Structure 1
């Protein structure tokens, strides 16, 4: 099964997403779930329209594929600003708050190692939370 990357970015009033390397398919939304649903819907509309009009469906969207959603650090920090404080993120990532503020403002982009460090810490937190039953 091939994977197709969906890039989510902060827009003016919401978030927008597009398929990396495939032109013409976009989705918007206020939440990640809304963006995911809208992206699947946009792909389905494209496939249906191509069937009606006799045009070719992009090769990446033929057969079995999986969408992988990716967000840049600035958009992620903006999206979860009401959930994660910079102090809390510093505790779980080891990245100091000042750096996190620079990343969230867009003044600096994190080095790939820092982005991976943030991603790994959030994935670890997610796994810990999934293992808890109340």
Structure 2
């Protein structure tokens, strides 16, 4: 099964998403469920339109595929701000609160090592729960 990545980003009033491997697959929504449904709908519409109008279905969508949803750090910190405090994130990631505030506001982008620390800590927390 081929993995395809959906990138979710914070927009001005909601969230937007796009399929990294295939141009033209986009969605917007206020919740992750809306984003997921929108991406799946966008994929289905593209495939149907290609078949109906004689277009070429992208190779990535011809095989079995699995969607993986990823948020950038800024969007993730903003989305879960009501759930995770910066103090709590500091405890599980080892990244100080001031630095997390910079990431959440977008004034600084985390280095890849910091992104990995955040991802690893959240995955570990999910496994523990």
The offset of 1:11, in angstroms, is 0.4
Q: Secondary structure at the match of 2:47?
A: helix
Instruction: Tell me which residue corresponds to 2:35.
Output: 35
Q: Matched residue pairs, number?
A: 129
The offset of 1:23, in angstroms, is 1.4
Instruction: Tell me which residue corresponds to 2:3.
Output: 3
The offset of 1:33, in angstroms, is 1.8
TM-score for both structures, normalised by structure 1 = 0.93
TM-score for both structures, normalised by structure 2 = 0.96
The offset of 1:30, in angstroms, is 1.1
Structure 1: which 5+ residue stretches go unaligned?
A: 130-134
Q: Report 1:40-51 matches (<5 A).
A: 40-51=40-51
In 2, the alpha carbon distance for the partners of 1:36 and 1:123 equals: 20
Deviations 1:26-58 (A, max 9, x none): 001111122111101110111111111110111
Deviations 1:73-122 (A, max 9, x none): 00100111111110111111111000000000111111111100000100
- The farther-off stretch of 4-13 and 19-28 is 19-28
Structure 2: which 5+ residue stretches go unaligned?
A: none
Instruction: Tell me which residue corresponds to 2:110.
Output: 110
Q: Secondary structure at the match of 2:55?
A: coil
In 2, the alpha carbon distance for the partners of 1:92 and 1:8 equals: 23
